[in-house]
Structure 1
């Protein structure tokens, strides 16, 4: 049974046009996730890019990924990611696919051993899915009737004493292929793998996000 990586990369970004092919040090953003998957070839058997864009398709093929052409009805702004993953499975021999590893192009950098470590936990504990999370010690609240209501702290409490809240950082997801076919990426019993690596702070949606990613690349990755 195979493990496959799927990288969804549509072409219709509004806030940062053509973000999936913008260059960092001469590499299209999409390429970093493809290269990461290929660097884990002992784990990942095949790498697929799902796209509706011909330029993205060209780049994906150039870097050695297989491409599944995503139809227009699955490429809208509000279409969930799982529909792209399911469409890939429906267009390959998915009966031989055990697990899907979702790598998002907008989270281009990942710790080198992250996939090996997470997959080891996922397989050993026989989880249905796993996703990466990061902790946050900020003081959150909501505004009701123009009044701020603290959510995770009491007024005057030190931030370093707060119990952290956690968020999906998007670095990677591992899910049984059978769940994807049932429109599920994160199962109810999914294991939240905690990582507070600096790369977990990247999620590119704006020019500012892209500039920050470029800064971290130059500081932590580029020789």
Structure 2
């Protein structure tokens, strides 16, 4: 039974044109996730890039990934990631047990993150796992011009807040059978906590990209 990595990378980004092929540290954005998967070849049997874009396809092949041509009907702005993952599984042969989703917009990951997460996934016999990080901000809602605290009381110290977590997008691990049933994060998915500077990188705009460049240059 195989474990594969899938990197969904469609063309046509509007907020940051051609972002998946933009150079981050002289390496195309997409290639960072491919290289990360290759560094974990003891866990990953094959690496697939799902795309509808010829330039992205060239980059994927250049860096050693296999390419699944994604139909345009599955490449729209509002199309969910699950449709690309499911299409890959339906397009390849062999018994796939686990799928590791690596989003190209999260190019910076701690070196040992996947090994630690995958080990936890296997030992815990989980059907899916995703990474989360703790948020230390004070949230509230605005109603009728008034601010209503959500996770704290006025005057409460930040360090005393009840912990809240966010899905950081660094990686997802899921049984293939779940994906074929249109599920990436199951109801019983394990939230694997990772509190690291890289968890704050999710590239959608030029400002996001500039921040990633800064971290890549000064930390990576």
Paired with 2:78 and 2:25, the residues of 1 have a C-alpha distance of 31
Partner of 1:29 in structure 2?
Answer: 29
Paired with 1:157 and 1:124, the residues of 2 have a C-alpha distance of 39
Give the alignment of 1:8-47 within 5 angstroms.
8-47=8-47
Q: CA deviation at 1:147?
A: 1.2
Partner of 1:206 in structure 2?
Answer: 205
Q: Secondary structure at the match of 1:133?
A: strand
Partner of 1:132 in structure 2?
Answer: 131
Partner of 2:108 in structure 1?
Answer: 109
Partner of 1:118 in structure 2?
Answer: 117
Paired with 1:175 and 1:140, the residues of 2 have a C-alpha distance of 31
Which TM-score applies when normalising by structure 1? 0.97
Paired with 1:196 and 1:76, the residues of 2 have a C-alpha distance of 32
Paired with 1:69 and 1:182, the residues of 2 have a C-alpha distance of 21
Considering only aligned residues, what root-mean-square deviation do their CA atoms show, in Å? 0.7
Partner of 1:184 in structure 2?
Answer: 183
Partner of 1:53 in structure 2?
Answer: 53
Q: Mean alpha-carbon deviation: is it higher for 159-168 or for 206-215?
A: 159-168
Paired with 1:24 and 1:206, the residues of 2 have a C-alpha distance of 14
Partner of 2:79 in structure 1?
Answer: 79
Paired with 1:35 and 1:76, the residues of 2 have a C-alpha distance of 26
Q: Secondary structure at the match of 1:156?
A: coil
Q: CA deviation at 1:26?
A: 1.3
**How many equivalent residue pairs?**
220
> Could you list the per-position Cα deviations for residues 115-166 of structure 1 after superposition, in whole angstroms to 9, with x for gaps in the alignment?
1100111000100100000000100011111111110000111111111210
Unpaired segments of 5 or more residues in structure 2? none
Q: CA deviation at 1:220?
A: 1.1
Runs of 4+ with >4 A deviation: none
Q: CA deviation at 1:25?
A: 2.0
Paired with 1:42 and 1:9, the residues of 2 have a C-alpha distance of 24
Paired with 2:27 and 2:191, the residues of 1 have a C-alpha distance of 31
Which TM-score applies when normalising by structure 2? 0.99
Q: Secondary structure at the match of 2:169?
A: strand
Q: CA deviation at 1:12?
A: 1.2
